[in-house]
Amino acid sequence: MSNTILEAKNINKYFNDPIRIQVLSDINFSVNKGEFVSLTGKSGCGKSTLLYVLSTMDTDYEGQLLIDQEEMPKRNEPFLAKIRNEKIGFVFQFHYLLNEFNVLKNVMLPGLKQNKYSEEEVEFRAIEKLKILGIEHLALKQANHVSGGEKQRVAIARALINDPHIIMGDEPTGNLDKKNSDLVFDIFKRLADEFNQTLLIVTHDPSFAARTHRIIQMEDGKIIHS
Amino acid sequence: MKKKLLINIANGLLMARWKQTLVAAVGVTFSITMFIALLSFMSGMNDLLDGLIINRVPHIRIYNDIKPNAHQPITLDRNYKTAHHFISSIKSDESRQSIYNSAAIMQAIKNDKRVLGFSQKLTAQVFFNDGNIDITGSMSGVNPVEEGSLFHFDDYITSGKSQDLTKINNSVILGKGLAEKLLTNIGDVIQITTSKGERFQLKVVGIYQSGLRDIDNVQSFASVSTVQKILSKPSNYITDIQVKLKDITQAPAMAKEYEQLFQTDAEDIQTANSQFETGSSIRTLISYSVGITLLIVAGFGIYNILNMMIFEKMDSIAILKATGFSGRDVQNIFMYIAISIGVFGGLCGLLLGFGLSSIIDQIPFNTAALPTIKTFPINYNPKFYLIGMVFSFFTTYFAGWFPARKASKIDPVIIIRGK
Ligand SMILES: Nc1ncnc2c1ncn2[C@@H]1O[C@H](COP(=O)(O)OP(=O)(O)OP(=O)(O)O)[C@@H](O)[C@H]1O
Ligand SMILES: [Mg+2]
Q: What is the pLDDT of residues B297-355, one digit of tens each?
A: 878 888 888 888 888 888 889 989 999 899 999 999 999 998 998 899 999 999 999 99
- Return the half-sphere exposure (C-beta side, CA atoms, 13 A cut-off) of residue B314: 13
Determine the pLDDT at residue B369: 61
Instruction: Give the integer Cα–Cα distance in Å for A11 and A86.
Output: 23
CB A188 within 8 A of CB A129: no
Classify the C-alpha dihedral A178-A214-A190-A197 as positive or negative.
positive
H/E run at residue B148: helix B144-151
Q: How far is the CA of A48 from the centre of ligand 2 (A)?
A: 4
**Each residue of B87-137: pLDDT tens digit?**
888 777 656 677 888 888 888 888 888 888 898 888 888 999 888 888 899
Contacts of A78 in chain B (CB under 8 A): 326-328
Determine the pLDDT at residue A1: 47
**Each residue of B41-97: pLDDT tens digit?**
888 888 887 777 777 788 888 888 777 777 777 878 888 878 888 888 877 765 667
**Each residue of B198-222: pLDDT tens digit?**
889 999 999 998 877 888 899 999 9
DSSP bridge partners of A202: A39, A170
Instruction: Give the integer Cα–Cα distance in Å for A82 and B416.
Output: 19
Determine the pLDDT at residue B95: 60
What's the CATH number where A184 sits?
Answer: 3.40.50.300
Are the Cβ atoms of A81 and B16 closer than 8 angstroms?
Answer: no
CB A56 within 8 A of CB A65: yes
Are the Cβ atoms of B316 and A93 closer than 8 angstroms?
Answer: no
Number of Cβ within 10 Å of residue B335's Cβ equals 22
Shared-domain flag, residues B152 and B298? no
Shared-domain flag, residues B159 and B287? no
Shared-domain flag, residues B211 and B328? no
Determine the pLDDT at residue A95: 65
* Residue of B20, B319, B329, B414 to mutate, interface with A, max A Cβ within 10 Å: B319
Give the number of whichever ligand sits closest to the CA of residue A218.
1
Strand order in the sheet with A62-67: A21-32, A4-15, A62-67, A70-71
Instruction: Give the integer Cα–Cα distance in Å for B190 and A67.
Output: 108
Are the Cβ atoms of B413 and A84 closer than 8 angstroms?
Answer: no
Going along B7-114, which residue ranges are E strands? 60-63
**Each residue of B227-241: pLDDT tens digit?**
999 888 888 888 888
Q: Which of B114, B377, B118 is nearest to B243 (CA)?
A: B118
Domain housing A23: 4-225
Mean pLDDT of B261-266: 85
Contacts of A110 in chain B (CB under 8 A): 323-324
DSSP 8-state assignment for residue B152 = -
In testing the pocket of ligand 1, which one of A21, A27, A40, A45 has its CB within 8 Å of the most ligand atoms?
A45
Q: At B99, which amino acid appears?
A: I
DSSP bridge partners of A223: A218
Determine the pLDDT at residue A37: 94
Domain housing B76: 68-94
Give pTM, 2 decimals. Answer: 0.74
A221 lines ligand 1 (CB under 6 A): no
Task: Convert A109-140 to b/e letters by CB count within 10 Å (16 or more is b).
Answer: bbbbbbeeeeeeebbebbbebbebbebbebbe
Shared-domain flag, residues B138 and B260? yes
Shared-domain flag, residues B90 and B115? no
DSSP bridge partners of A200: A37, A168
Closest residue to A96, CB basis, from B16, B315, B326: B315
Statement: residue A12 has pLDDT above 90: yes
**Each residue of A31-61: pLDDT tens digit?**
999 999 999 999 989 999 999 999 999 999 9
Instruction: Give the integer Cα–Cα distance in Å for B191 and B248.
Output: 40
Number of Cβ within 10 Å of residue A219's Cβ equals 13
Domain boundary among the residues B220, B246, B272 is at B272
- Return the half-sphere exposure (C-beta side, CA atoms, 13 A cut-off) of residue B108: 11
CB B333 within 8 A of CB B13: yes
Shared-domain flag, residues B255 and B108? yes
Supply the ipTM of this predicted assembly.
0.91
A42 lines ligand 1 (CB under 6 A): no
A203 lines ligand 1 (CB under 6 A): no
Contacts of B325 in chain A (CB under 8 A): 81, 85, 113
B330–chain A nearest CA distance, Å: 11
CB A125 within 8 A of CB A161: yes
A23 lines ligand 1 (CB under 6 A): yes
**Each residue of A57-115: pLDDT tens digit?**
999 999 999 998 899 998 899 999 999 999 999 898 876 788 889 999 999 999 999 98
Domain boundary among the residues B223, B246, B272 is at B272
Are the Cβ atoms of A85 and B320 closer than 8 angstroms?
Answer: no
Shared-domain flag, residues B299 and B315? yes
pLDDT range class, residue B371, cuts 50, 70, 90: low
Are the Cβ atoms of A82 and B5 closer than 8 angstroms?
Answer: no
A14 lines ligand 1 (CB under 6 A): no
Q: List the residue whose alpha carbon is closest to atom 29 of ligand 1.
A: A44
Statement: residue B140 has pLDDT above 60: yes
Shared-domain flag, residues B105 and B88? no
Are the Cβ atoms of A99 and B16 closer than 8 angstroms?
Answer: yes
Number of domains into which chain B is organized: 3
| pLDDT-above-70 percentage for chain A | 99
Instruction: Give the integer Cα–Cα distance in Å for B74 and B86.
Output: 9
Q: At B150, which amino acid appears?
A: L
**Does residue A166 or residue B368 have the better pLDDT?**
A166
Closest residue to A78, CB basis, from B2, B328, B411: B328
Q: How many residues does chain A have?
A: 226
Mean pLDDT rounded to a whole number for chain B: 86
Q: How far is the CA of A51 from the centre of ligand 2 (A)?
A: 9
What is the tally of helices (H) and strands (E) in chain B?
16, 10
A46 lines ligand 1 (CB under 6 A): yes
Number of domains into which chain A is organized: 1
Question: For ligand 1, what atom is nearest to the CA of residue A171?
Answer: 27
B339–chain A nearest CA distance, Å: 20
In testing the pocket of ligand 1, which one of A12, A15, A219, A223 has its CB within 8 Å of the most ligand atoms?
A15
Shared-domain flag, residues B117 and B179? yes
The Cα-based distances of B404 to B213, B301, B415 in angstroms read: 61, 15, 17
Classify the C-alpha dihedral A66-A153-A158-B419 as positive or negative.
negative
B61 Cβ contact list (under 8 Å, min separation 6): B240, B241, B242, B243, B266, B267, B272
Using a 10 angstrom Cβ sphere, with 0-12 exposed, 13-18 middle and 19 or more buried, the burial of residue B310 is: buried
Mean pLDDT of B259-276: 80
Question: For ligand 1, what atom is nearest to the CA of residue A51?
Answer: 18
Q: How many residues does chain B have?
A: 419
Catalogue the long-range contacts made by B185-189 (C-beta closer than 8 Å, 24 or more residues apart): B186/B159, B186/B160
Instruction: Give the integer Cα–Cα distance in Å for B14 and B335.
Output: 12
Closest residue to B324, CB basis, from A81, A92, A170: A81
Domain boundary among the residues B215, B250, B272 is at B272
Mean pLDDT rounded to a whole number for chain A: 90
DSSP bridge partners of B128: B135, B192
Using a 10 angstrom Cβ sphere, with 0-12 exposed, 13-18 middle and 19 or more buried, the burial of residue B14 is: buried
Q: List the residue whose alpha carbon is closest to atom 31 of ligand 1.
A: A44
Instruction: Give the integer Cα–Cα distance in Å for B86 and B40.
Output: 58
A84 lines ligand 1 (CB under 6 A): no
